[in-house]
Amino acid sequence: MSRKYPITRSFKFAFSGLKSAIKREPNFRTHLFFAIITIIAAYFLNFTLSEWTILIFVIFLVMIFELLNTALEALVNLVSPELKPEAKIAKDVAAASVLISAIFSIIVGAILFLPKIIALLL
């Protein structure tokens, strides 16, 4: 399979998609806001390398699911502009994947942050 565009142009497309998600998707901006707050808190709580690794993995996981959800919603809207039960299922299941990843991130965040916060309070 031959490449249609140079790799630098592929990166340009990817950054364009990221820019589009930031500009057009309020949920993506919300996830980004909480990711930044979480990273700042982790810095001040002196996370270890392994804690940073877990935290960054979970943050990126949520962002990836939000981007995939956005892409799937756009595709479904394109191929099925009229309301169809199958289109609703596709969109709802994609949204559920974001919800599950966000719940997972909250659980992991509690495991990482609570012991450090409790230690500060004692």
Active-site residue list: 66
4 membership: H or E segment, kind and range = none
- Report d(CA 59, CA 79) in Å as an integer: 31
For residue 21, how many C-alpha atoms fall within 13 Å in the half-sphere facing its CB? 23
Which tokens belong to 89? 């299922």
Q: How many CB atoms lie within 10 A of CB 76?
A: 18
